[in-house]
Structure 1
């Protein structure tokens, strides 16, 4: 297997005054709806773990199996199934209601407990000496989707086992939309298998979502994400901020270790990128610049500038430098 740093190019730069202080390298691919590469940086054949950027693929069996229809799932439910949410009250309450509707509780989750990333809720829980629950995990929406599918299939409780019917369905969907045979998987932060593919395969999958009919499973998931950017991530997060800035025309999703995807229905294109050092700040910068490049994001929108030319401030509030998209992306 090729080392992920092989052939990587600089996608984001840190400038302090007139000096280039640091550089983040990575790979990025833009695909059209035929699966062909429109533009690429680095090595499109790099094998990657898309992490949470693949959640909309993992949610496909929820719809194609009939489980979503059987349980009257709404676009809000589907957005949460694709989410890496903040664990804010809006997320916890909606996931909790869904969990209860399928007759399950926090103990049924296979994701571990995680502190809420919502400052007010986290502070309130610390003051009340309340331990974080699994429902606060950023993947609890995806896991409620898994539990819903498992219930629909009459499958056992260990839904994160790679041999479980839920994960077999996820792998089948993953290989279908990437148009590749996955070389294997890693175990994600939430204990579910995360299947590997090439970066080209992931961009191809996102282009497939972009071109999908609104009534298809892919179209429903994509449109749920663009309709509910607040549920996909949360206040202050790049996914939510940038989707709002594009007025619901594009779905984007981050993944751990500096992965990012974009689904552009108007352009019928998909984007996948990976920063090899795992630096999320660089992935956010690069995806924003690619969205600008494709005409999906206004380069002068304050939210675009917050990522493509982000000021770096010191402890005294002075702007000492900038995080900028590298020349290769301009």
Structure 2
């Protein structure tokens, strides 16, 4: 069985200093491998890259429409946001609309990664709330399902009806049985799956149309993420920048521990990527390189090159080296 392969390199003084290894696979809607690196059958947790699947039952069941959710709500339900005001304000309004408060969330409080929001809390000697959690949009979607169906409040328990329908949906769109689950950073179950399975699921999102209920729901979610990239991440994040550079050609979503997915509607392709050391910088570089390789992004676009081949600088601002895709990914 193929092991992880070199995907991203760091160079300093003309010498290779570090290497990030991983697995990646590109699939089409028919479930065929278009291209792969490493082991397409490597099994791991997709983490937050699975949020678009976790949001799918809310849309295809009709709950999103019955509860009056907008496209922005759908984007937030797929988000790993930075806790900026553009995220927390609508999440709090969403909670208000459900007649709930911060205590209803089962994700923990988290300091915002957005600096203005973080500094605002520090300056007022305030503490972060659960709505600051990067997954609060997803959890607002969870609570919407709970409210619409009259389910109990402990919605992150693995045997809760919400998590059962999410598990079923996840396995259906991946067309594979998950071998098990772990607890994600936001306390919800996260189901393990092969790289091939997740990439196939993303390809199914890519080729979806309005001819079926599930297909229409997939279209709505992928279009929501591409229409509101800053809600999915933040104005200074890789997901946002790569979607902006794609100009409606791709939806991307990062996950913890070096996972990353892409949905490419125009080409009918899905991508799943895992950096084995969990490095976010490497997953961003590798995903940007794969999307350039597939002709979705331009490697010379400044929004792309800052992730695909950025200069490395020290604290004095001197360029000390560079990060680049390994040879297997580099050609475009």
TM-score, normalising length: structure 1: 0.97
Say which is worse superposed, 297-306 or 223-232, in terms of deviation.
Answer: 297-306
Deviations 1:297-321 (A, max 9, x none): 0111011111111110011100000
Match of 1:169, SS state, is helix
Match of 1:107 in 2: 103
Question: Post-superposition shift, 1:184?
Answer: 0.7
Contact 2:158 2:189 (C-alpha < 8 Å) held by counterparts: yes
Query: Which residue of the other structure, out of 49, 52, 61, is the alignment partner of 1:53?
Result: 49
- Superimposed CA distance per residue, residues 173-215 of structure 1 (whole angstroms, 9 cap, x where no aligned partner): 1001000011110100000000111000000000000001157
Residue 298 (structure 1) aligns with = 298
Partners of 1:197 and 1:120 in 2: how far apart?
37
Rounded Cα–Cα distance in structure 1 between residues aligned with 2:248 and 2:73: 17
| CA displacement 1:34-74 (0-9 Å, x = unmatched) | 01100000000100100000000000111122210111111
Query: Which residue does the alignment assign to 2:325?
Result: 325
Give 1:241 deviation, angstroms. Answer: 0.8
Find the residue that maps to 2:310 and give its secondary structure. strand
SS at match of 1:312: strand
Aligned mates of 1:315, 1:223 — CA distance in 2: 40
Residue of structure 2 in register with 1:164 after alignment: 160
Task: Please name the residue that 1:249 is paired with.
Answer: 249
Question: Counterpart in 2 of 1:266?
Answer: 266
Shift of 1:262: 0.2
Aligned match for 1:89, one of 55, 62, 85: 85
Q: Is the 8 A contact 2:241 2:304 kept in 1?
A: no
Structure 1 residues 25-34 or 59-68, which shifts more? 59-68
CA distance in structure 2 between the partners assigned to 1:279 and 1:152 by the alignment: 38
- Kept in 1, the 8 Å contact 2:75–2:224? The answer is yes
Deviation at 1:125, TM superposition (A): 1.0
Any idea what SS the aligned residue of 2:157 has? coil
SS at match of 1:30: strand
Deviations along 1:237-265, one digit per CA (max 9) or x if unpaired, are 10001101111221000000000000000
Contact 2:8 2:20 in 1 (8 A): yes
SS at match of 2:8: strand
Contact residue 81 and residue 231 of structure 2 kept, 8 A? yes
What are the ranges of 5 or more consecutive residues in structure 1 without an aligned counterpart?
A: none
Instruction: Provide the C-alpha distance between the structure 2 equivalents of 1:122 and 1:174, rounded to a whole number of angstroms.
Output: 34
Equivalences for residues 171-186 of structure 1 within 5 A = 171-186=167-182
- Aligned residue runs from structure 1 range 179-328, under 5 A: 179-213=175-209, 216-328=216-328
Distance apart, 1:282 and its partner CA: 0.5
In structure 2, distance between residues paired with 1:258 and 1:193: 18
Determine helix, strand or coil for the equivalent of 2:142.
helix
Q: Is 1:16 the equivalent of 2:47?
A: no
Distance 2:62 2:44 in 1: 30
Distance 1:280 1:121 in 2: 22
Stretches of 4+ moved more than 3 A in 1? Answer: none
Aligned-CA RMSD value: 1.0
**Structure 2 unaligned residues grouped into runs of 5+:** none
Kept in 1: contact 2:91–2:137 (CA 8 A): yes
